[in-house]
Structure 1
């Protein structure tokens, strides 16, 4: 009876409003309406995407409750990774999860996406730099100058180590190594004789097996085991050139602007959920697999010798700073941040 009365009152009210010529107000989405549909492509292959993005997209689709649905595509599935930015700009795809460097974002700060040498030591450095030291505002400024793409959020992934077919125990062992890596990381590593090689992500394992590649400098040990690289590269170098990969979410601006406020907020919450998941998944995985992993033998370049690489990174920083005024601001933030961390001492930086 109560249900019938409420239905009657609701129907009567709508009828009266129509009769009076009142403007119909926008109503919430009703089940049965066609949902908003997005296609999002990640930089990651299927096994890796199971951790770095899929849980958050599954959660979004559940909580969106029929109003919106995001279809997730993996590395190079719709568009080659290097063409992702232009495809998103054209509206071929609606959103992207990757780093600025790999997708060839046409902004000066793209060099800082992925692995910028020694900018970070730990994964927590990335969100602190963006949320407390001003990188967020710089990224928003840079992408605000580019038509058609909206930068949404940055987060941290794993550190950048070498996993190789032969052991690396000195800088001399790096010379001539054909390595799959990120553009800016490769640009830096070439100073030590490394030969950067660009391939589709899905071809990397076979390229190691056939001898096209001698190794990989694309991840930490967690990804090596997750995606199967640990089976073809039996050595893992404990020295790294960056403590955390810096990746972002982007969207086609028109599609983003079309979203109602609550769906934008839901997507932001799911991005944060993804960032949080990676913090603990990588942090725990890197330690656990060094200790308990059985596929890879750990090797190390002595600290005094590795210092040569760290020192060269400071020269590299200054060269990047000279490329644009905005790059110089980013480098200044890195220097300020690392000075604070060093003064703070353990656990922020070693004494």
Structure 2
């Protein structure tokens, strides 16, 4: 029996039923107030998988509250630009946003740690750290100082290394390379001689076509194919070592979050975690097919050489050591991730790695 049916029958069920209904209605109204929020996304509607995660979360919340709590989702640029999403949430322009926290690393590199930094954890490792390693609580200690509360809200899995107009075989090929690369990764790449470029999504293709930039990293086959990079930069490199498991976050204005009834807070936690898992599954399903499509249309897959990977790892470690020496919050969060990272890759190389390796061999032999 649903709630409305119960209350209706109670109202006509005699004196006792009438009294129960009179008491129940105000209690329910108080516990489930009508609330309307706005969410600004850092992503355009054309990127349906990552932008769509905001709509998925909002739909879950609406359905779970019988329409009492509604969140209207706005694409990047409709209220504020994609890179202003966290600021708009912190200052109360909107109640929440869906964004990647490494966008704001310039304020403090600690922002990037809960999302993705070079040679951190993969998607499953990030989720393990967030949900069971204290990562959510630790990051929220940092976010509280920004007037924000955050919950993981999506992951793309390990991203691709990007599209390049020429082959990148050695460290010499990296020097002087003008590359559109976002966030904290650019700081590491500068040590390799790369010249990082910050270019909005809508301008990337033209810059690549004209030779204003030599390469671009974006996400992976499904999103990349929509932007047509393979037409002007056919060399498609992997892996994106700077985004092994990039967590996207739902960020909430601290006062707005604190003002919610506990029931609504719990519903948001559940909806955000469900969205977190759903986005990763969505990307895993779509990237598998999109990879075949971009290759059929001119993409040439290339792995980064061991020379480049090793030098990048060393550059990242040197950068972290420098930041840890002057930033105690960064040191605390990164120390927690590093401690778990060692155990994670110990466990991952046992059952999971060997099973996957065997199955990959079967795929290459045409047996799947």
TM bucket by the smaller chain? 0.7 to 0.9
1:46 aligned to 2:45?
yes
Aligned position for 1:322: 325
Aligned position for 1:176: 176
SS in 2 for 1:236: strand
Residue 270 of structure 1, CA deviation: 1.7
Residue 298 of structure 1, CA deviation: 0.6
Residue 229 of structure 1, CA deviation: 4.0
Superposition pairs of residues 67-146 of structure 1, within 5 angstroms: 67-103=68-104, 106=107, 109-120=110-121, 122-146=122-146
Q: Structure 1 residues 6 and 141 mapped into 2: Cα distance closer, same or farther (>3 Å)?
A: closer
Superposition pairs of residues 1-351 of structure 1, within 5 angstroms: 6-7=11-12, 9=14, 13=18, 25-28=26-29, 35-51=34-50, 52-53=52-53, 54-103=55-104, 106=107, 109-120=110-121, 122-146=122-146, 148-153=147-152, 155-160=154-159, 161-241=161-241, 242-291=243-292, 293=294, 294-295=296-297, 296-344=299-347, 345-346=349-350
Please, which moves more after superposition, 183-192 or 210-219?
Answer: 210-219
Runs of 5+ unmatched residues, structure 1: none
Q: Distance in 1 between matches of 2:20 and 2:285?
A: 60
Q: Structure 1 residues 149 and 329 mapped into 2: Cα distance closer, same or farther (>3 Å)?
A: closer
Q: Structure 1 residues 155 and 109 mapped into 2: Cα distance closer, same or farther (>3 Å)?
A: farther
Residue 40 of structure 1, CA deviation: 0.7
SS in 2 for 1:212: coil
Residue 11 of structure 1, CA deviation: 11
Q: Distance in 1 between matches of 2:33 and 2:20?
A: 25
Residue 214 of structure 1, CA deviation: 2.5
Q: Distance in 2 between matches of 1:83 and 1:225?
A: 26
Residues 341 and 349, structure 1, Cα contact 8 Å, conserved in 2: no
Residues 164 and 236, structure 2, Cα contact 8 Å, conserved in 1: yes
TM-score, length-scaled by structure 1? 0.83
SS in 1 for 2:102: coil
Q: Structure 1 residues 7 and 335 mapped into 2: Cα distance closer, same or farther (>3 Å)?
A: same
Q: Distance in 2 between matches of 1:94 and 1:44?
A: 17
Residues 174 and 193, structure 1, Cα contact 8 Å, conserved in 2: yes
Q: Distance in 2 between matches of 1:250 and 1:105?
A: 18
Aligned residues: 342
Q: Structure 1 residues 213 and 105 mapped into 2: Cα distance closer, same or farther (>3 Å)?
A: closer
Residues 237 and 302, structure 2, Cα contact 8 Å, conserved in 1: yes
Q: Distance in 2 between matches of 1:126 and 1:5?
A: 49
TM-score, length-scaled by structure 2? 0.80
Q: Distance in 1 between matches of 2:174 and 2:164?
A: 10
Runs of 5+ unmatched residues, structure 2: 1-5, 358-368
**Which structure shows the higher helix fraction?**
2
SS in 1 for 2:240: strand
Q: Distance in 2 between matches of 1:266 and 1:26?
A: 18
